[in-house]
Amino acid sequence: MNERIIALDGLHTSISVRSGETLLAALERCGYKMRRSCRNGVCEICQITLLEGEVEQRYPAGRFQAPQSAILACTATALSDLRVYIEGLQMPGVLAVKKVICEITETEKLNHDVYRIRLHMPATASHAVEYYAGQYLNVLLPTGKQASFSIASAPDMGRELELHIRHIPESEMSSAIVDHLLNNPSVEIELPRGDCYVQATEMKDDTQLIMAAASTGFAQVKSMVEHLLANQHHNPIHVYWGARNADDFYLADLPEQWAHEHSHVTMTRVVEPDAASAWQGRTGLLPAAILEDFTEFDNTLVIGAGSPGMVYALLDACEAAGMKEEQLKSDVFAYAPRPKK
């Protein structure tokens, strides 16, 4: 088969296009996504810039050589190797970020300061939203302000979303978010966001997972665990949930239920020692508790869901025990990077 190479300008990568295959078809076959509507050229949405090479276009008909800024990917085929620029081209595996208005279907206070908010996303195709287990969303207020929250539901729940939101009374933003969610029928959100997620289809069978959640970081862990369980993965999953006080925990015995029903799941709650006088369970800090239980990290993926202080303490502790930095995933690394050592 006679194949041509398309170099994707700005992405430092390339794909092959088969003889007679349109550029759009080649891109989508390789997992890339770009703006498009029809496949006949008449909508002209899938325009690309031809920087090098020559193409033949079915509609509008003709042969075009670089430089040319109005090639239509859905009707153009390659006559030579090409270099192109495509505005908004999404890499394989990257989901489109969208804004949607969701119905607020349920609000429930789970403990003294955490609310569970359930949302229902719209069904129309143009608003269909995908996300990975562990990603987060932004809640957008009418005032223009926004705040980020982990998605506690698994993608396998379809259009149903769950959030765990801690109300901090001294925070004006926190109070505004809670007030809106408790007193309005709908809310605008933007999703998905975040690079710390798991995909059941990409998870190797011999990978062990250690998930460290502090406070409402449990929401992110919940999404990941329920996604893996829904897809019948049997990887060892060790959940560590840390809190300052025992009454900061919520959702009763849900994690213990996972462990009871699935032999490959373990659950450990940890309360900080200076607030554990009435606590009968494990005490200490999350990094120390994990290193008490694990001395080696071969074939291990660690998830850090909490504050930058907790995540970086966990990273340092695990690295000192032999873990490689790339074995720990956390959104903290994106929004609160620390200087290189």
Please name which of 2, 1, 9 lies closest in space to residue 66, comparing C-alpha atoms. Answer: 9
CA distance 340 to 40: 50
Q: What is the mean pLDDT of residues 33-42?
A: 81
Domains annotated for the chain, with CATH where assigned, are 3-85 (3.10.20.30), 98-193 (2.40.30.10), 200-335 (3.40.50.80)
How does pLDDT run across 193-214, given as a tens digit for each residue? 998 999 998 899 899 999 999 9
DSSP string, 260-272: HH-TTEEEEEEE-
Is the pLDDT at 83 greater than 70? The verdict is yes
Is the pLDDT at 301 greater than 70? The verdict is yes
In this structure, of 25-39, 184-198, 209-223, 243-257, the range with the lowest mean pLDDT score is 25-39
Q: What is the mean pLDDT of residues 74-78?
A: 95
Give residues with Cβ within 8 angstroms of 209, minimum separation 6.
198, 224, 228, 235, 236, 237, 238, 300, 301, 302, 303
Q: Tally Cβ neighbours within 10 Å of residue 65.
A: 12
The one-character DSSP state at 91 is P
Is the pLDDT at 115 greater than 70? The verdict is yes
3-class state of residue 299 by DSSP: coil
How does pLDDT run across 258-283, given as a tens digit for each residue? 999 999 999 999 999 876 567 888 99
The one-character DSSP state at 215 is G
